[in-house]
Amino acid sequence: MIYLDNSATTQPHPEVVSSYIKVNEQFYGNPSSIHRFGEKASSLFVKAKKQCSDLSGIADCNVIFTSGGTESNNLAIKGSVHALAAKGKHLITTVIEHPSVLEVFKELEKKGFDVTYLPVNEAGVISLDGLKQALRKDTIFVSIMYVNNEIGSVQPIKEAGEIIKAQSGARFHSDAVQGFGKLPTDFDCLDLITLSAHKFHGLKGSGLLAFKKGLSITPEMIGGGQQEGFRSGTLNTAGVVALAKAMRLASESREDAFNRLSVYNQLLRRFFEGQNEVTVISSHNAAPHILSIAVPGLTGEVIVHALDQREVYITTSSACSSKLNKKSHVLSACGLNDQDIRGAVRISLGAMQSEKDIKEFIRTWQEVIPPLLKGVK
């Protein structure tokens, strides 16, 4: 098997799985209980929370543990906007955000908020001048993703943060789900950052929202008041310990992973640039773990299923929308024509990838895809 769909989800690291199992077996007490067994679980939770805070990318921050990127994005946006609504009604985001961001902004528009959607160039990157022009006195919240999940475009987060800070009092959030563990995430310019464990060899159903201390956030989940009232519900000690482990492993191996994945990306890029029937979509400045291409003579679904028969796994655009058979809003925003969009697939690499995987993928592609193209000519 060759798994190249790591932007959808990654294989959990064995040490992460081991940590999760150990805590569930030996420290399964409720951290909110006042007896010693509960206090042991609470001590583990507090230690893991400190580790996650230190590694999140925002210095001296608070952390809310969630079920993943979607919940964290919802909490970051709605929780901030509702807390700041008395100060203004203008919000800014980009046209290529993940649906867990875009759909929230669309919902807020229906509630009377004014949203500016920043366009992107053909490489999928916003214009900083466009951001400057979009900012207003009543702008209260800006959300710009770090790395796009479909094409790997990297936004100039640090420069955007400087502009936002200089021109407004708006709160700045970034969905960094696809960036953590692959690119640096030390952004003091951010007020809030979203992370999801299963994108960097952690476990599904585990994520966090890190934010600068002192920020007011209206909770979405209310109940027993856990996590300082920001997100009620019984604390998932094992999940948080496993998340901290995944973050530490990803941080420690980030530079090595970046270098290796850059090499693998170039191997793939050189191969596809030499194929007349293939269009390389991802720019040279994109994150190294994502390479999107298009085969205009085929549909992405045909390519995915053909490779699937050989146990080679890639996907069409993002996994969230591929089963819905929806046209990619990201590729449309980058100006691709309908034929390229229909024939687009995404190859995404993980930290556990080997050069052997890449070479085997190229060999399989050469055996499987050209015959399909002959069949449609």
CATH number at 218 reads 3.40.640.10
Taking the C-alpha atoms of residue 138 and residue 162, their distance in angstroms, rounded to an integer, is 18
Kindly state whether residues 130 and 177 are assigned to the same domain: yes
Query: Do 214 and 333 belong together in one domain?
Result: no
pLDDT over threshold 60, residue 319 = no
Check residue 208 and give its pLDDT.
98
Give me the CATH number covering residue 260: 3.90.1150.10
% of the chain exceeding 70 in pLDDT: 97
Identify whether residues 103 and 125 lie together within a single domain. yes
Both 239 and 295 in one domain: the answer is no
Classify 109 as helix, strand or coil.
Answer: helix
Are 301 and 215 found together in one domain? no
375 pLDDT more than 90: no
Only one residue has tokens 């290796």, namely 260
Whether the CB-CB separation of 177 and 69 falls below 8 Å is answered with: yes
The pLDDT of 102-111, averaged and rounded, is 98
Residue range 103-112: mean pLDDT, rounded: 98
The pLDDT value recorded for residue 374 is: 81
d(CA 176, CA 195): 6
**Cα–Cα distance measured from residue 84 to residue 74, given in angstroms and rounded to the nearest whole number:** 15
CA distance 243 to 210: 13
Domain that holds residue 299: 2-8+253-376
Q: Looking at the chain, how many residues does it have? A: 377
Closest C-alpha to 65, from 228, 231, 248, 224: 231
Is the pTM value of this prediction over 0.85? yes
The dihedral formed by the CA atoms of 45, 50, 51 and 56, expressed in degrees to the nearest 10: 120
Do 123 and 92 share a structural domain? yes
- The total number of structural domains in the chain stands at 2
Grouping H, G, I as helix, E, B as strand and the rest as coil, residue 75 is helix
Q: Are 105 and 279 in contact (CB under 8 A)?
A: no
pLDDT for position 185: 85
Alpha helices in the chain (DSSP H): 14-26, 36-55, 69-84, 99-110, 128-134, 157-167, 237-273, 300-308, 319-322, 329-333, 338-342, 355-376
- Domain boundary among the residues 232, 249, 266 is at 249
- Compute the distance between CA of residue 371 and CA of residue 321 in angstroms, rounded to an integer: 28
Q: Which residue, of 203, 220, 249, is where some domain finishes?
A: 249
Q: Specify the pLDDT at position 176.
A: 97
- The answer to whether residue 194 scores a pLDDT higher than 60 is yes
Please tell me the predicted confidence (pLDDT) of residue 104: 98
- The answer on pLDDT for 117 being more than 90 is yes
Cα–Cα distance measured from residue 213 to residue 155, given in angstroms and rounded to the nearest whole number: 25
Residue 327, pLDDT score: 85
Active-site residue set:
320
Same domain, 335 and 311: yes
> In terms of domains, do 232 and 262 share one?
no
Pairing assessment for the beta strands 312-313 and 290-294 based on DSSP bridges: unpaired
Residues 124, 232, single domain; the answer is yes
Give the residue from 183, 214, 249 where a domain finishes.
249
Q: Are residues 170 and 315 in the same domain?
A: no
Query: Do 235 and 261 reside in the same domain of the chain?
Result: no
Is 32's pLDDT higher than 60? yes
Q: Are residues 281 and 221 in the same domain?
A: no
Distance CA 162, CA 168 (A): 10
Q: Residue 373 — very low, low, confident or very high, per pLDDT cuts 50/70/90?
A: confident
